[in-house]
Amino acid sequence: MNNVNNKKVVEVKNLIKNYGAKDFETKALKGIDLTVYENDFIAIMGPSGSGKTTLLNILSTIDKPSLGSVILASKDITKISNKELSKLRRDKIGFIFQDYNLLDTMNLEDNIALPLAFGGVFPKECIRKTKELAAMFGLSEHLKKYPYQLSGGQKQRGAACRALITGPEIIFADEPTGALDSKAGRELLECLKRINEEGRATILMVTHDPFSASYARDVYILNDGVIKCRLSKGGERKEFYDRIIDVQTSMGGDFLCE
């Protein structure tokens, strides 16, 4: 259970998202309340069409809600200018996408360091931070390679390093293991779990995969635009995985908590 004195990184109140014209509206989110505290590792799960990707896009400033507030880094992102939003993305948010998004014309070292270079950080400091993160993610021997020379797992771990390099307040991960085989997915999740446990990252991950979700500390189940339940780890990962599977099995078309 989170301590009420913990720092709030994201606070969502009555989040509503509608698509389409008034008479043909699709209600994607129907009043979401969610608080993410510093050093949380949260997984958002739900069936296709449940609203989990819409929620991630709004929290990460890619999309805007129809109603409600989203406080991120002490600012209501629904009310600030595009210029302020760009600065917020650059300084406070890290992204890990399913398809890596590495630049083919740069080697891995330059890909990882790119956010720092955009921020005007001195080259020596860029190199130091890049090497430190690369070592944590098992990439030290691959820094001079280009993306086409790397495996999917190595590219995704490189993308995770790039997301972390600026020390953002929160990492948003969108199906980060979706394009990986089971071994590469496990290696990435172990790395994310370790940096979270070391206090280096607050993580919010969207996933359809119970195995991936079991690496989080809390899992929120979405269905039909609302949060159906929250599962908290409390024990070993395997036991948590079994509980997530039980919820999926018992849902009968809906996610239900027993």
Arithmetic mean of pLDDT, 22-42: 92
Q: What is the DSSP letter of 78?
A: T
The pLDDT tens digits of the residues spanning 187-242 come to 999 999 999 999 999 999 999 899 999 999 999 999 999 999 999 998 899 999 99
Identity of the highest mean pLDDT range in 40-54, 86-100, 143-157: 143-157
118: confidence class by pLDDT, cuts 50, 70, 90: confident
For residue 98, the Cα-to-chain-centroid distance in whole angstroms is: 11
**pLDDT over 60 (residue 154):** yes
Whole-number pLDDT of residue 252: 58
Whole-number pLDDT of residue 99: 87
Arithmetic mean of pLDDT, 233-257: 80
User: For the sheet containing 75-76, what is the strand order?
Assistant: 26-37, 8-19, 67-72, 75-76
- Mean pLDDT for all residues in the chain: 91
Distance CA 85, CA 105 (A): 28
**pLDDT over 50 (residue 9):** yes
3-class DSSP state of 12? strand
The DSSP H or E segment spanning 221 is strand 218-223
Whole-number pLDDT of residue 153: 95
